[in-house]
Structure 1
Amino acid sequence: MTVAKKVHLKSILKHLILDPDGFTPEHAADGLHSIMRGEASDAQIGGFLTALRLRGMDKDPQMIASLATEVYKHALRPTLETSEKNREQFGMVVDIVGTGGDGWNTFNISTTSSLVAAAAGLQVAKHGSRASSSNCGSADLLESLGCDLGIISPSDVAELLSEHCFCFLFSSTFHPSMRYLAKTRRELGFPTPFNVLGPLTNPVVPDRAVIGVHSKSLGPVMAEALKILGRRNYAVVCGDENLDEISIAGNTHVWHIQEGGEVKNYTIHPNDFGVSTHPLSEAAGSTLEENKATLKRLISNKLEAKDEPIRDFVLINTGFLLYISGLAASMKEGADIARKTLESGKVQDLLEKFAKATQTLREQESEKNSLH
């Protein structure tokens, strides 16, 4: 249990406005602590978020890491090590996620890639939510396919990962204290430091991850924040078009945090995966219903010609996750494994079984409630 701090957001906000040079990451964390305890008014929250943005705090790795640490203190954290079997099995959990906000509205690449990676053998804890800056978010897509995501609690994560190598962690469930920020963030209508916290605050704390950012300038900032948080074997990526995924159209910039903590910066290209390039316009997302239909064709191996760019987009993003996780010796091998996994029908089988498992959890919850 977090010990309550005797600092109110009003005094923190006054410090931020009147003495910005003396405002530290610890002060920012204290302000967020006050918000997440429900102590702050909407006006104070709006002022805090606006001031953080105007003072450039969203470009400060120390500030971002401090805010992420505070978010973790209030999160509901699943325990994976529930038995000797699970201790051995959960030696590595991964995620692939983007910040959103890049304006490209591509198909749900990271969501699809997470399913393919899980079907290929990685244990994927997908942290996400409904759409905020796109037409169709990860939760929207999975729910349309029969997954009951709202029923998944921290106590369910270990078993779902154990049985299916996949689990979805709904941010609103696992970060309930963030609800105090939601209304103000929606009404402000501009990005704040909290827009980059989602990929940093997966409650499972994955061992390895691919994190897409919406601008190349944010890449080194995000990598440094991850380094401060102690993450290793994470890769921050940004397509040359300021895309928060590995681009199918050309080069992607990578900031790869090594085991020793150094950040290796390099570029990758679809050719590295043995995959052809396609214009981003050919991999655009659409409505929820159309994205659902596209995903169904991909995982049932019933592709139409228009689906090939999206399939290749999924192959390179999945392939890179498989590569940095050590399941593939090269990016090309990663894409080859992803292609074979898609064509095998394993992804469709995984999705159907995961959806059924979540529906069973809902039925059990209903039965329990009916007895009281």
Structure 2
Amino acid sequence: MTVIPEKQEHLKSVLHKMVINPESVTPELVVSGLRSIARGEASDAQMGGFMTALKMLGIDRKPEMLAVIAGEVLRSAAIPCIDFDGKTRDDYSMIVDIVGTGGDGWNTFNISTTSSLIAAAAGLTVTKHGSRALTSNSGSADILESMGCNLSAVLPAHVGKLLAEHRYCFILVDNFHTTILYVRRMWKELGIPTPFKILGPITNPVVPNRAVIGVNSKELGPVMAEALRILGRCNYAVVCGDEDLDEISIAGDTHVWHIQESGEIKNYTIHPRDFGVPAHPLSKAAGATLEENKATLHRLLSNELEDKDIAVRDFVLINTGFLLFVAGMASSMEEGATIARQTLESGKVMALLESFGKATRAL
């Protein structure tokens, strides 16, 4: 991927060029705007105008632009400060993530967060990239914090120790990304889907070896996959439920864009039956308030399921199973779901959550 040299240009100047001459907008110009934001010199109005201009120019549908912006966000993240507990990043042979763009309007239960915990308890090393809720009732950070995790205390210097002890670390966006920290508040105030929201899943500063990334639009699937290919990622799978769901759907078909080791993007469709799991209406797996989601998660991890939890459990199993399959821990999607269910029922997931929560509270 092309590395853009450092350039000092104020966001006001960048925004002027984008509006006056939109056809000439280049990756270099967009990166100049991002660097101005990262320096903390842009006003709220300028940042709002910048994000609106990016959306109006269709930047979030141009894979080469997404790749350049993602690379810049990663460059400005705290990557050099991440302490892998005396090791290098390469000493971790397999780090994974499961994350979605959000914004699909379905307000489902915290599927990817629960799946990330099960995957770690099953033996994968997981760096879950996420944030607090912007468009849903309960974001990935919110549900974990409600269960006793002090995620605000997890800084780059703690990553290695947490991974070594728990095979799990939550990467809270606000603590790791300078640029996103400045613009995060704008997302909610603008009320429009910005490229920054879309970029979240592909800017995990640890750069996982393999990942399952959900997108909220089937049209975005090939765009996201191509952006990842440009970034040099392989063994990543972009998924979108047929309902424009940013997860593997429990209700029916899910579209997959799977980046192979060779860089080829393989497109195929999967269904709950591929996991040996029955389909359920999405309404049966809907999320609710944070307190209700917390209670559901506690029942899942404690093996105290009620009838209303079965669809949610199966929803979690297929998403976890696919991550295990993509990561190479399972030889098939059905085996992945079986491993996920055995891990969930073993009590290991609750033990992991409790030990991780205790470690974060001690930071």
- For normalisation by structure 1, the TM-score amounts to 0.93
The corresponding residue for 2:266 is 264
Matches of 2:148 and 2:8, distance apart in 1: 45
Report the counterpart of residue 297 of structure 2 in structure 1.
295
- Could you say which residue in structure 2 is the equivalent of 1:283? 285
Q: What code does the residue aligned with 1:332 have? A: E
The equivalent residue for 1:364 is none
The letter of the residue matching 2:198 is: V
Q: Which moved more, 1:94-103 or 1:19-28?
A: 19-28
SS in 2 for 1:94: strand
Offset, 1:53: 1.1
Moved more, 312-321 or 188-197: 188-197
Asked whether the equivalents of residues 81 and 87 of structure 1 are also in contact (C-alpha less than 8 Å), the reply is no
Code of the residue aligned with 2:34 in structure 1: it is L
- Distance, in Å, in 1 between the alignment partners of 2:272 and 2:312 is 13
Superposed, 1:68-217 pairs within 5 Å as: 68-77=70-79, 79=82, 81-83=84-86, 88=91, 90-217=92-219
1:241-297 alpha-carbon deviations (Å, 9 max, x no partner)? 000000000000000011111100000000000000000000000111111111111
Query: What does 1:211-290 align with in structure 2 at a 5 Å threshold?
Result: 211-290=213-292
Q: Equivalents in 2 of 1:80, 1:322: separation in Å?
A: 26
Find the residue that maps to 1:260 and give its secondary structure: coil
Is the Cα–Cα contact under 8 Å of residues 83 and 158 in structure 2 kept in the other structure? no
Stretches of structure 2 lacking an aligned partner (at least 5 in a row)? none
Q: Which residue of 2 aligns with 1:313?
A: 315
Is the aligned partner of 1:61 residue 2:24? no
SS of 1:133's equivalent in the other structure is coil
State the partner residue of 1:24. 26
Cα offset for 1:3?
A: 7.9
Superposed CA RMSD: 1.6
1:289-312: per-residue Cα shift (whole Å, max 9, x none)?
111111111111111111100000
- Tell me, in whole angstroms, the C-alpha distance in 2 between the residues paired with 1:180 and 1:168: 20
1:360 aligned residue (356, 359, 362)? 362
Matched residues in 1 for 2:89 and 2:263: separation? 28
What is the distance in 2 between the residues matched to 1:40 and 1:72?
A: 20
Equivalent position of 1:341 in the other structure: 343
Runs ≥4 residues deviating over 6 A: none
2:305 and 2:109 mapped to 1: Cα distance? 15
Query: 2 CA distance for matches of 1:142 and 1:135?
Result: 13
The CA deviation at 1:24 is: 1.0
Q: Contact 2:85–2:161 (CA<8 Å) still a contact in 1? A: no
Q: Distance in 2 between matches of 1:85 and 1:258?
A: 25
Preserved CA contact (<8 Å) 2:83 2:156: no
Q: Distance in 2 between matches of 1:326 and 1:61?
A: 27
Distance 1:221 1:350 in 2: 35
Q: SS of the residue aligned with 1:102?
A: coil
1:92-134 superposed Cα distances (whole Å, 9 cap, x missing partner): 1000000000000000000000000000000000011111110
> Sequence identity, in percent?
65
Once residues 86 and 21 of structure 1 are traced to their aligned partners in structure 2, the CA distance between those partners, rounded to angstroms, is: 40
In structure 1, list runs of 5 or more residues that go unmatched.
Answer: 362-372
SS at match of 1:209: strand
Please tell me whether the aligned partners of residues 180 and 196 of structure 2 are also in contact (alpha carbons under 8 angstroms): no
Counterpart Cα distance in 2 of 1:207 and 1:18: 41
Shift of 1:41: 2.1
Q: Aligned partners of 2:171 and 2:158: how far apart in 1?
A: 10
**Given the alignment of the two structures, is residue 43 of structure 1 paired with residue 45 of structure 2, yes or no?**
yes
Tell me the distance in 2 between the aligned counterparts of 1:146 and 1:84. 28
Q: 1:360: Cα distance to partner?
A: 1.6
Aligned residue pairs total 359
Question: Aligned partners of 1:208 and 1:80: how far apart in 2?
Answer: 20
Q: Is the 8 A contact 2:34 2:179 kept in 1?
A: no
Q: Per-residue deviation at 1:85?
A: 9.5
